[in-house]
C-alpha cells in the first residue's frame, strides 16, 4: 500500500500550498510516543488491523487520500490538519510537517464535537 505521494489534495495545484483545508504537503510518517498502546486500542481493536505496521500504513494512506465529496477537513489554530471521512468514519490529525499524530474511527457526532471545539460550527 503506498503511503506517500504528491499532494495536490483538494485541488490546491502542483505545489501543495497550505489552505483552509490542509496544512501539509503529504503525510510521511505516523508518530505517536505511545504508538503500540495507541495502535492496539484503535487500529487492532476497533479497526481490525493485524499489526502496528498495517495500522501505521493505513493512517498515512488515509491522510493522503483525496476525496472532496466524502472527506471534510480543516486546519486548527495550531496549524494541524484535522480530517474526517463521512463514508468510513475515519479521523486523523496531521501536523503541518506531515506527521500523522492520531488515526481512529469516530461517529458523526464525534466529528461535530471536534468541529465545535475548534469553532467550525
Return d(Cα 54, Cα 30) in angstroms, integer: 11
- pLDDT tens series, the chain, 121 aa: 444 444 444 444 445 566 666 767 777 777 666 777 777 777 777 788 888 888 888 988 999 888 889 999 999 998 899 999 999 999 999 988 888 888 999 999 999 999 999 888 7
Domains of the chain: 17-117 (3.10.450)
Enter the DSSP assignment of 69. Answer: T
C-alpha distance from residue 100 to each of 60, 66, 109, 116, 121 (Å): 7, 16, 22, 22, 24
> Would you state the pLDDT for residue 105?
92
- pTM, rounded to two decimals: 0.78
Amino acid at each position: 500500500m503506498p503511503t506517500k505521494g504528491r499532494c495536490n489534495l483538494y485541488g490546491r495545484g502542483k505545489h501543495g500550498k497550505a489552505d483552509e483545508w490542509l496544512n501539509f504537503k503529504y503525510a510521511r510518517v505516523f508518530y505517536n510516543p505511545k504508538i503500540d498502546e495507541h495502535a492496539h486500542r484503535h487500529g487492532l481493536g476497533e479497526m481490525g488491523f493485524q499489526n502496528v505496521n498495517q495500522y501505521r500504513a493505513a493512517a498515512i494512506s488515509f491522510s493522503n487520500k483525496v476525496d472532496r465529496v466524502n472527506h471534510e477537513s480543516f486546519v486548527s489554530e495550531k496549524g494541524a490538519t484535522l480530517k474526517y471521512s463521512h463514508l468510513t468514519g475515519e479521523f486523523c490529525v496531521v501536523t503541518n510537517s506531515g506527521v500523522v499524530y492520531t488515526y481512529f474511527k469516530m461517529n458523526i457526532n464525534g466529528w461535530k464535537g471536534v468541529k465545535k471545539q475548534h469553532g467550525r460550527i
